Structure 1
């Protein structure tokens, strides 16, 4: 199972924005389950007035600190801090395209680097309540079903946008950067994984 998933990421050249942007954050896109019923782990961010993505659906992760040995180390460290899952390098499948962060349609001066992991073991979730309100699993079949496709109306600072989204049976849909990262993941998996 893991070998087949790793093959989907081999010989890929993910988009690298580090040549044009210095600051970045790293996230962990975590998969589990059998090949015909893969699930993906999401967080719902805590409600905080100082967080530009307050309450949104996201992936565990955060900004690279100067003491981090690598971008991958950042994703592993931040995941442990936010949700208590201790990921290992052996569980890494690969890397997705870097994606430039944006707010209200305006590009920001940093990017997100997603790493994909597959875990086949038991673990406990320990949320950092200052950062994360919830961690949950969602089947890829749900994410790819046309029945769950929707739009998210973004209305802020005199900007009105209708953005593609996916309903998750929660008060907030999957949209924005996390939606874009998820679509990139599905594109990688699509050749061999049936949804």
Structure 2
């Protein structure tokens, strides 16, 4: 078993055992799902981030995010929504070449100014040769080594400005020119907490590319 494979197996166990109590929310809210995609890379496991295309009327236009989108009536479940949207947006079929490691707790916007929606995140492992091919909904896609997001240099702030209100500062991650804030920051904060505890418990290894 390669070092990356061993870490992924431990991460799957941690996600399965941790559990969470889902907070109360309006069951009538629209639902969406996103994918935390992990692949082996030369610096250890990498995570896929996308920058959404600029679209008028889209409240998340231009944001750095995780691949995913709204649930459709014929989706068997939220994990299938994340898989379908990932395939559509970046051309990676997690159902054919990857595997689901587990789920993270759902999130939703905390501001009354943001549209109401419940977002369910799922963690998937994909092979080292998985490459993102963005569709028209995605301006860019980049694989970021997980250790870069966990370093103190990745901690930053995002200044959000909107006409008629004072600028607001939000916690964010910064890596390779990409700034992650809002719902995606909250999802990744939870994921990196789980990942960090798993990595600490793992035996020291020589990070390298492996197979899923």
- For the criterion TM > 0.5, the same-fold answer is yes
Deviation, structure 1 residue 136 = 0.8
Q: Is 1:177–2:186 an aligned residue pair?
A: no
CA RMSD of aligned residues (A): 2.4
The count of aligned residue pairs is 192
Q: Secondary structure at the match of 1:134?
A: strand
Structure 1 gaps of 5+ residues are none
Relative distance call for 1:137 and 1:16 in structure 2 (3 A) is same
**What is the match of residue 210 of structure 2?**
none
Which has the higher mean CA deviation after the structures are superposed, 106-115 or 148-157? 106-115
Q: Alignment partner for residue 190 of structure 1, among 176, 185, 196?
A: 196
Q: Is 1:54–2:73 an aligned residue pair?
A: no
**What is the match of residue 9 of structure 1?**
15
Name the one with the larger strand percent.
1
CA distance in structure 2 between the aligned counterparts of 1:109 and 1:54, rounded to whole angstroms: 16
Deviation, structure 1 residue 47 = 1.1
Q: Alignment partner for residue 91 of structure 1, among 82, 87, 99?
A: 99
Relative distance call for 1:182 and 1:160 in structure 2 (3 A) is same
Structure exhibiting the larger radius of gyration computed from Cα positions:
2
Answer whether contact 2:40 2:128 (CA < 8 A) is retained. no
Answer whether contact 1:100 1:108 (CA < 8 A) is retained. no
1:115-158 per-position Cα deviation (integer Å, ceiling 9, x unaligned): 000112423433212x1011110111111111221111111141
Point out which structure has higher relative CO (alpha carbons under 8 A, 6+ apart).
Answer: 2
Q: Is 1:30–2:22 an aligned residue pair?
A: no
Q: Alignment partner for residue 153 of structure 1, among 142, 153, 159?
A: 159
**What is the match of residue 64 of structure 1?**
71
**What is the match of residue 142 of structure 1?**
148
CA distance in structure 2 between the aligned counterparts of 1:79 and 1:179, rounded to whole angstroms: 19
CA distance in structure 2 between the aligned counterparts of 1:15 and 1:119, rounded to whole angstroms: 28
Answer whether contact 1:14 1:98 (CA < 8 A) is retained. no
